[in-house]
Amino acid sequence: MSNSEVSDGKIFILYLVKHAPGVSYQMLMDKCLESLYLDFFNFSRCYNELIAGNLLDREVHDTGTGEVIGSNETIRITRGGEAILEDLLSTLNLQTLGYMNKASGELQEEVRKLNSVKAFSQPDSDGMSLVTLSTTLDCKDFTCSFKVRNEDVDGVLSVWRSQSGSLTDEFLAKLLKSET
């Protein structure tokens, strides 16, 4: 990969992270590979150099989205990264900027959808886990917590992540129909 290709890849990554707050490593990598700007190895190189150069920062935690098993990295651009990106944007042609705007808009929507449904579990010592489910999908803010057997946790989390919209609709419909 030539130096200009590395630079282009880094600009693309910085632009996506700046314009899609809350993007995860996995989502960023997927969008970059989809763009054909970068292959996996060059994405990894650019990403690691941006982190090492303190132009990007990452926070590792369980996002509750089920995007990856275990913890996930959420990426943000640093002030230094923003300053460099701002200096470089004027050097890009309109076609490149248009493509980057389109890609960042798609990524923003992915981040919004992914972060609108969350599911966490916290195991207890009695063979049970406290499960907390939440959604903000379709402007319906819903959160609940309850205990389930440890062996049922993965199934509950998976069903919630894939069907939270219809489950919330059913719950609200039953509440509104019941007269006690």
- What is the C-alpha separation between 87 and 91, in angstroms, rounded? 8
Q: What is the pLDDT of residue 65?
A: 55
Q: What is the pLDDT of residue 71?
A: 52
| Residue 56, strand partner residues | 77
Domain 3-115 class, CATH top level: mainly alpha
Reduced to 3 states (helix: H, G, I; strand: E, B; else coil), residue 122 is strand
pLDDT in tens, 26-83: 889 999 999 877 889 999 999 999 999 999 999 886 655 555 555 577 899 999 999 9
Q: For residue 22, is pLDDT > 60?
A: yes
pLDDT in tens, 83-119: 999 999 888 889 889 999 999 999 998 888 777 888 8
Closest alpha carbon to 17 in 114, 107, 91, 99: 107
Q: What is the pLDDT of residue 180?
A: 53
Q: For residue 154, is pLDDT > 70?
A: yes
Would you kindly state where each structural domain of the chain is located, as residue ranges?
A: 3-115, 117-177
Q: 51 vs 157, which has greater pLDDT?
A: 51
Most confident of 44-48, 121-125, 153-157, 175-179: 44-48
Q: What is the pLDDT of residue 118?
A: 80
Reduced to 3 states (helix: H, G, I; strand: E, B; else coil), residue 81 is helix
Given pLDDT bands bounded at 50, 70 and 90, which one contains residue 20?
very high
Q: What are phi and psi of 87, to 5 degrees?
A: -65, -35
Residue 21, burial from CB neighbour count under 10 angstroms (0-12, 13-18, 19+): middle
Closest alpha carbon to 72 in 80, 84, 81, 63: 63
Q: What is the pLDDT of residue 28?
A: 92
Please give the structure tokens belonging to residue 72: 């996930």
